[in-house]
Amino acid sequence: MCGRYASTLPPEMLQELFKLLNKLDMVPRYNIAPTQPIAAIWEQHGRREAHFARWGLVPGWVKDPREFPLLINARVETMAEKPAFRDALKHGRCIIPASGYYEWHTNPDKTKQPYYITYADGRPMALAGLYASWMGPNGEEIDSVATITVPTNAQLSPIHDRMPAIIAPDAIDDWLNVRDVRAAEARQLALPLPDGVLKFHPVSTRVNSARDDDPGLIEPATVEPPKPPAAKKRVAGGSAQMDLF
C-alpha cells in the first residue's frame, strides 16, 4: 500500500507540468500522511484544476464521516465493484502529484525499514487516485481522495507486494477525462510500472512519525538490502477484503 509520500514541486512547475487552470499556494512536503489535506488534480466541466482534499475517501452516501473507516487506498483489482469506489472510478478520477513515495519492508525480526521510491530520472509522479465530495446536512462539504494500488513489479517485490498506480504522462489526459473515457478503459491505465523505471533507497525511521517533515527524511540511510520475499502459500476461502472496500 501507499501510506506516505513527498511532494516538493513548486506551484508554478505543477501548474505548467499538469496543464492546470489554477495554482495552489503550496510548500514542499516530505512526509504527507493520511487524513491530511493534499493536492489533487481533477477535471470538471472541461476545467482541469488542482484542489486541496482530505486523504481518506468519504463517498457521498456516507451519513457521518466520523463513523466511516479511513479509506486511503483502493485496490485496482476490486475498485470497480466496491460500493466505496465504483462511482468515483466512473466520475471522480484524479491524479495526486508526488516527488516520491515511501514503502516499508518487514525484516525477518519483524522490524520495518522504510524506503523512498522515485522515478529513476527524477521526474515527478502522477499517482492515480479517486475523489468524492461529501455534503453534510448543514451545508458543510468535504472533498476527499484515495490512491489506487496495484501489484508490485519484480524490481520492488523485495520491499512490498503492492505499489501505487502511477499514470504515465501520455495517459494522464485519458485518466482524467471522465466524460469520454469509460471506467473499464481507464482501469487499463492503472498498471504497475515496468522494471527499471523506478529507483529506491532506505531512509531514516524518522519518517514513521508524521510530525517529522523535512528534507532529511528522503536522504539515504545505510542498512542491509532487502531480500526477496518467500513464496506464499495460497489459503482457501478467497480475499478477506471487506465488501465496501
The Cα 100–Cα 163 span in angstroms is: 12
Q: List for the chain the helix, strand, coil content (%; round to 5).
A: 15, 35, 50
CB contact at 8 A, 134 and 144 = yes
Among the listed residues 12, 77, 94, 103, the single catalytic one is 103
Strand ordering across the sheet containing 29-32? 29-32, 4-7, 100-106, 112-119, 198-202
Helix residue spans in the chain (DSSP H): 11-17, 86-91, 172-176, 183-187
Cell numbers describing residue 14:
505543477
Contact 177, 43 (CB under 8 A): yes
* Alpha-carbon gap, residue 153 to 127, rounded angstroms: 16
Picking from 5, 205, 3, 212, the residue whose alpha carbon sits closest to that of residue 101 is: 5
Which residues in 203-220 are b (16+ Cβ under 10 Å) and which e?
Answer: bbbebeeeeebeeebbee
State the pairing for strand pair 73-75/141-151.
parallel
Q: Is 141 part of the annotated catalytic residue set?
A: no
DSSP-based three-state secondary structure for 134 = strand
The yes-or-no answer on residue 103 being catalytic is yes
Residues labelled catalytic: 2, 103
